[in-house]
Structure 1
Amino acid sequence: MIEVQDIRLDPVERRVWRGVDEVAFSRKEFDLVHALIARAGDIVTREELMREVWNATFWTSSKTIDVHLGWVRRKLGDDSRRPHLITTIRGKGLRFEKGTAASQ
């Protein structure tokens, strides 16, 4: 079980909870969350995500990650304008935050 902030992820059962509520994800959404939360606090590049989540070494679409990330944020209740779970680091990648923005 991986636990960061109030998110718990079970990589074996492929299940995710926010607090006590289970959050349903598609296969790719789960893979995206898992790739980010497994390295919470570290920046994960878009190239790494394309390789790990989509098994692609090329860009099928520059919007693929953004679209899936939007769905993930919405399901987790993470405001894309003021995210506290998944932060976009311009020009570098994405980071699953270990703590809330206020505590960093």
Structure 2
Amino acid sequence: MYEVQDVRVDPASRRAWRGTEEITFSRKEFDLVLALISRAGELVSREELMRDVWNTTFWTSSKTIDVHLGWVRRKLGDDSRRPHLITTVRGRGLRFETQDPRTLPQTPIARTSSPTP
């Protein structure tokens, strides 16, 4: 059983919950969630997802992952414009967040000042 934030996934029974509500995923949607939540906090490349979820080393469609990810996000209630469960790191892959990034303290931007003469 994997439990991250308020999402639980049981690989043995192929069931998933968000809080107390059971979420029904298609086979590929479940496999995608499992591939991400089992490596929560880690960046998972699109190549790894194609291999692990679709059992292929070639791209059947550049939109395959995006389409399934959209369905998964909708079912989990994860806003694609401000995701807090599954984030996309452009050009690198996807990450199932271990904490809601919206609640993490913001790091102030360091500013350099010019030396005074």
Deviations 1:69-97 (A, max 9, x none): 00000000000000000000011000000
Larger Rg: 2
Map 1:7-86; keep pairs closer than 5 Å.
7-86=7-86
Q: Which portions of structure 1, spanning 4 or more consecutive aligned residues, are displaced by more than 3 angstroms?
A: none
3-state DSSP of counterpart to 2:62:
coil
TM-score (normalised: structure 2):
0.88
Task: Output one character per residue of 1:8-51: Cα deviation in whole Å (capped at 9) or x when no partner.
Answer: 00000000000000000000000000000000000000000000
The structure whose RCO (Cα within 8 Å, separation 6+) is larger is 1
Letter in 2 for 1:14: R
**Higher percent of residues as strand:** 1
TM-score by length of 1: 0.98
Match of 1:96 in 2: 96
In structure 2, list runs of 5 or more residues that go unmatched. Answer: 106-117
Paired amino acid for 2:7: I
Count of paired positions: 104
Report the secondary structure of 1:43's partner residue.
coil
Quick one: distance in 1 between partners of 2:94 and 2:100? 15
